[in-house]
């Protein structure tokens, strides 16, 4: 029922946008009516610019590097003789080593527009952004260039009905955004496995496009607002160290959203059994069997993450624990992860928060695949969910004032994004913030 209602709401958004566009389109037509005959006369080959060339000036041949292809083979196939090929390769070698052509990468030949279709230019694309031009139409020269990159800022809002991924998915938003919110921004403050119906969020993020058209994914999240159990959680992206390029998310009071410990060692698992000193188990005749860990159920093979930076003190297999890893984080804290199918770290190894230290399994004493997460404070096992865990590196006093100034307009922007469709009209649809060509 609820999801149906959401869909309907979604449709209303669409209709609204369509109406707005409709109005713009109508206006244009009124101003300048275009007759069909007129269109036929005006028509003229449009400039198609790519790689800095007007493609209309050439016969364009596109292909990908195939097995057995080399620069020489490709040019020879296109009627260029070996002495010239050798000459081109020699001249181009300071910019691009033609032996570096990789199987499956696209290339383009710009050929003369006569019956001979002689190649004039070879353009190779080692990746989506870069391209190498070997131009031999007059003198031979080669250079590497980049396609223009465009960042488009977008906003999105959502109200949780089931899960964050489903809510974003319904709006056609990439799961990357879910991961950024769950793992990068709110991993320490909000438990995304326990979101509540009615929790809601607003996000300002940027999409990255190459050449205006190729969508390469979400670039970053500039700011977010998450209302969990009626409590607001602001997050603003801020670079605290321009030299090292350290970026963190802070709240409206300049508090770091990161904590020394992650809330969960697995990404989207489910807590199947909590820390409970008074647990009794039927299998053991209801004898007292305290559970000093928190069990997260997840399929075998699910990556298990270190919840904080530290040094591996044990990576072994022992009795009921099965295969496990234990990490010492500092003089006070240790964590332990049991029943792995296999470990991914060795004793003595330093691990960073979020590193995969092993995979969920069923080794040792366990009825199903899960990781038993144990949290040690001063050598005693405690319930991590009842601990007040330390904050990660706070912002320096000197930066704090600067930060608060920086977030003012962004917070304002966030606060002016509304959840209800009636307020949609007031929402700026999207704005281009940056256009880079380097």
Which CB atom, from 118 or from 273, has the smaller least distance to Zn ion? 273
Shortest separation between residue 305's beta carbon and Zn ion, angstroms: 17
Taking the C-alpha atoms of residue 414 and residue 233, their distance in angstroms, rounded to an integer, is 12
Asked if residues 165 and 175 have their Cβ atoms less than 8 Å apart, the reply is: yes
Shortest separation between residue 293's beta carbon and Zn ion, angstroms: 4
Binding part of the chain for Zn ion, among 81-89, 168-176, 182-190, 295-303 by CB under 5 A, reads: 295-303
* Alpha helices per DSSP H over 173-236: 175-179
Which CB atom, from 164 or from 266, has the smaller least distance to Zn ion? 266
Which CB atom, from 312 or from 372, has the smaller least distance to Zn ion? 372
Asked if residues 260 and 267 have their Cβ atoms less than 8 Å apart, the reply is: no
Is residue 369 involved in binding Zn ion (CB under 5 A)? no
Stretch 36-65: interaction string toward Zn ion, x if CB under 5 A: ------------------------------
Q: Which residue is nearest to Zn ion (CB)?
A: 372
Shortest separation between residue 298's beta carbon and Zn ion, angstroms: 13
Binding part of the chain for Zn ion, among 31-39, 178-186, 202-210, 371-379 by CB under 5 A, reads: 371-379
Cα distance from N-terminal residue to C-terminal residue, the chain: 50
Tell me which residues in 376-415 interact with Zn ion (CB under 5 A).
Answer: none
Asked if residues 296 and 264 have their Cβ atoms less than 8 Å apart, the reply is: yes
Give the CA-trace dihedral at 341, 343, 344, 350, to 10 degrees. Answer: 150
Shortest separation between residue 371's beta carbon and Zn ion, angstroms: 8
Max CA pair span of the chain? 92
Binding part of the chain for Zn ion, among 16-24, 120-128, 264-272, 367-375 by CB under 5 A, reads: 367-375
Q: How many residues at the interface with Zn ion, by CB under 5 A?
A: 3
Shortest separation between residue 375's beta carbon and Zn ion, angstroms: 12
Shortest separation between residue 374's beta carbon and Zn ion, angstroms: 8
The two three-digit tokens of residue 7, written as one number: 């869909």
Closest CA to 78 of 131, 122, 18, 140: 122
- The only residue of 372, 407, 414, 417 in contact with Zn ion, by rule CB under 5 A: 372
- The only residue of 293, 361, 369, 384 in contact with Zn ion, by rule CB under 5 A: 293
The two three-digit tokens of residue 33, written as one number: 């009516």
Binding part of the chain for Zn ion, among 191-199, 289-297, 388-396, 423-431 by CB under 5 A, reads: 289-297
Closest CA to 164 of 139, 138, 187: 187
- The only residue of 108, 295, 333, 343 in contact with Zn ion, by rule CB under 5 A: 295
Taking the C-alpha atoms of residue 248 and residue 4, their distance in angstroms, rounded to an integer, is 37
Binding part of the chain for Zn ion, among 17-25, 242-250, 370-378, 412-420 by CB under 5 A, reads: 370-378
Shortest separation between residue 380's beta carbon and Zn ion, angstroms: 16
Angle at the Cα of 429 (from 423 to 433), degrees rounded to 5? Answer: 135
Taking the C-alpha atoms of residue 126 and residue 324, their distance in angstroms, rounded to an integer, is 42
Shortest separation between residue 97's beta carbon and Zn ion, angstroms: 56
Asked if residues 109 and 122 have their Cβ atoms less than 8 Å apart, the reply is: yes
Taking the C-alpha atoms of residue 351 and residue 312, their distance in angstroms, rounded to an integer, is 7
Asked if residues 264 and 375 have their Cβ atoms less than 8 Å apart, the reply is: no
CA-derived radius of gyration, the chain: 29
The DSSP bridge pattern shows strands 356-360 and 380-382 to be: unpaired
Which CB atom, from 232 or from 320, has the smaller least distance to Zn ion? 320
Binding part of the chain for Zn ion, among 7-15, 73-81, 327-335, 368-376 by CB under 5 A, reads: 368-376
Task: Point out which residues bind Zn ion (CB under 5 A).
Answer: 293, 295, 372
């Amino acid at each position: 029922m609820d999801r149906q209602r959401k869909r309907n709401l979604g449709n209303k958004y669409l209709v609204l946008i369509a109406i707005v566009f409709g109005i713009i389109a109508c206006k244009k037509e009124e101003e300048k009516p275009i007759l069909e005959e007129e269109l036929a006369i005006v028509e003229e080959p449009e400039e198609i610019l790519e790689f800095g060339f007007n493609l209309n000036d050439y016969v364009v041949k596109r292909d990908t590097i195939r097995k057995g292809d080399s620069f020489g083979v490709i040019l020879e196939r296109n009627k260029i003789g070996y002495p010239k090929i050798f000459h081109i390769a020699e001249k181009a070698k300071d910019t691009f080593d033609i032996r570096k052509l990789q199987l499956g990468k696209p290339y383009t030949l710009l050929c003369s527009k006569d019956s001979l279709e002689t190649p004039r230019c070879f353009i190779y694309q080692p990746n989506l952004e870069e391209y190498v031009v070997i131009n031999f139409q007059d003198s031979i020269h080669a250079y590497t260039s980049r396609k223009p990159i465009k960042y488009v800022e977008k906003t999105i809002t959502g109200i949780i009905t089931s899960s964050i991924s489903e809510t974003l998915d319904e709006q056609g938003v990439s799961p990357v955004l879910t991961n950024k919110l769950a793992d990068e921004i709110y991993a320490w403050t909000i438990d995304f496995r326990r979101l509540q119906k009615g929790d809601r969020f607003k996000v300002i993020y940027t999409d990255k496009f190459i050449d205006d058209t190729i969508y390469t994914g979400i670039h970053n999240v500039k700011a977010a607002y998450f209302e969990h159990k009626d409590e607001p959680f602001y997050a603003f992206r801020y670079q605290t160290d321009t030299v090292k390029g350290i970026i963190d998310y802070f709240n409206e009071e300049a508090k770091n959203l990161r904590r020394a410990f992650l809330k969960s060692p697995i990404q989207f698992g489910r807590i199947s059994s909590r820390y409970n000193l008074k647990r009794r188990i039927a299998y053991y005749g209801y004898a007292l069997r305290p559970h000093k860990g928190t069990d997260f159920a997840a399929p075998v093979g699910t990556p298990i993450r270190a919840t904080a930076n530290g040094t591996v003190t044990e990576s072994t297999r022992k009795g009921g624990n099965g295969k496990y890893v234990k990490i010492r984080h500092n003089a006070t804290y240790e964590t332990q992860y049991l029943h792995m199918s296999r470990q991914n770290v060795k004793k003595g190894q330093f691990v960073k928060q979020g590193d995969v230290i092993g995979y969920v399994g069923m080794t040792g004493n366990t009825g199903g695949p899960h990781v038993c997460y144990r949290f040690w404070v001063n050598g005693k096992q405690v319930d991590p969910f009842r601990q007040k865990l330390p904050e990660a590196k706070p912002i320096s006093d000197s930066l704090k004032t600067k930060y608060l100034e920086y977030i003012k307009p962004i917070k304002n922007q966030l606060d002016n994004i509304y959840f209800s469709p009636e307020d949609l009209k007031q929402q700026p649809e999207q704005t281009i913030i940056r256009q880079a060509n380097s």
